[in-house]
């Protein structure tokens, strides 16, 4: 099984989570940051795992555009999906907004990978917004390794996971 992980990250937490996932995948594998690296040739992969993070309700445009452009081909692959986002309670809703219904229905599994708030990487407006949400604590890290492990196990098994 040749596996490709494609992710987008603004402040680094999705990148951290995607790399943890990469280390848990066996066999031939590649990992691509879609915001900075060349788009991959999907023909080379049987399994594709896509993820990004949520800003004001939306996943990064680069992931949206990539999925839109390659949807037919992605629907021929084994698919896993993940998100990093601060509001776990909105995970399902934000997942549905991030990926087309066809791809969600086709996917084997999806997981919530947690979040980080890194004030050193935020601009002033972002800091002000987040201050309201997390009440002053702007350096928080909550990357969920168990969920990352779960996705790695699900995608390497053969059974579709009901969530
Ligand atoms: C300005 C800003 C807006 C955000 N908006 C949302 C949001 O609408 N919903 C949510 O669940 N999380 C939101 N978050 C939390 C991010 O999704 C979270 O910090 C994530 O880990 C960032 O990933 P990254 O470091 O890979 O960019 C927001 C964070 C920031 C800084």
CATH value at residue 100: 3.40.50.360
How many whole angstroms from 54 Cα to the centroid of ligand 1? 5
Three-state SS at 7: strand
What pLDDT score does 29 carry? 97
For 43, phi then psi, to 5°, come to: -55, -25
- 25 φ, ψ to 5°? -95, 135
Per the model's pLDDT, the better-predicted residue between 87 and 63 turns out to be 63
Alpha-carbon separation of residue 86 from 19, 64, 115, 155, 160 (angstroms)? 19, 19, 5, 24, 27
In this prediction, residue 42 carries a pLDDT of 96
Instruction: Please determine, for residue 160, whether its predicted confidence score (pLDDT) is greater than 60.
Output: no
pLDDT of 159 strictly over 70: no
In a domain, 89, yes or no: yes
More confident residue, 123 or 84: 84
**Within a domain: 34:** yes
121 in a domain, yes or no? no
Q: Report which protein residue has its CA nearest ligand 1's atom 8.
A: 56
Per-residue pLDDT band at 158 (split at 50, 70, 90)? low
Residue 95 sits at the vertex; the CA angle it makes with 110 and 73, to the nearest 5 degrees, is 70
* Residue 125 within a domain: no
59 lines ligand 1 (CB under 6 A): no
> What is the residue-averaged pLDDT of the chain?
93
So what's the pLDDT on residue 48? 98
Terminal-residue alpha carbon distance, the chain = 24
Ligand 1 neighbourhood includes 130 CB (under 6 angstroms): yes
Asked if residue 111 is part of any domain, the answer here is yes
Confidence of residue 133 (pLDDT cuts 50, 70, 90): confident
More confident residue, 140 or 97: 97
The total number of structural domains in the chain stands at: 1
* 22 CB within 6 A, ligand 1: no
Ligand 1 site, residue 83, Cβ cutoff 6 A:
no
**Nearest atom (ligand 1) to Cα of 9:** 26
Average pLDDT estimate for 79-95: 96
- Please indicate whether residue 35, judged by its CB atom, sits closer than 6 Å to ligand 1: no
Domain that holds residue 50: 3-115+143-156
Q: How confident is the model at residue 1 (pLDDT cuts 50, 70, 90)?
A: low
Model pTM score:
0.94
Beta strands in 23-156 (DSSP E): 29-33, 47-55, 58-59, 78-84, 109-112, 114-118, 139-143
3-14 pLDDT, tens digit each: 999 999 999 999
Q: Does 97 reside within a domain?
A: yes
Percent of the chain clearing pLDDT 70 (strictly above): 93
Does a structural domain hold residue 10? yes
Residue 137 has pLDDT above 70, yes or no: no
Residue 129 lies in a domain: no
């Amino acid at each position: 099984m040749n596996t490709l992980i494609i992710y987008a990250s603004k402040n680094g937490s999705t990148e951290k989570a995607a790399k943890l996932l990469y280390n848990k995948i066996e066999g031939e594998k590649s990992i691509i940051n879609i915001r900075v690296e060349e788009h991959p040739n999907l023909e080379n992969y049987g399994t594709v795992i896509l993820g990004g993070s949520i800003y004001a309700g939306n996943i990064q445009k680069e992931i949206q555009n990539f999925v839109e452009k390659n949807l037919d081909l992605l629907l021929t692959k084994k698919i896993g999906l993940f998100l990093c986002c601060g509001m776990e309670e909105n995970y399902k809703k934000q997942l549905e907004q991030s990926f087309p219904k066809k791809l969600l229905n086709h996917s084997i599994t999806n997981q919530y990978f947690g979040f980080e708030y890194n004030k050193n990487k935020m601009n002033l407006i972002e800091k002000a917004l987040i201050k309201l949400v997390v009440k002053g604590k702007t350096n928080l890290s909550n990357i969920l390794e168990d969920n990352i492990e779960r996705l790695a196990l699900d995608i390497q098994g053969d059974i579709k996971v009901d969530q």
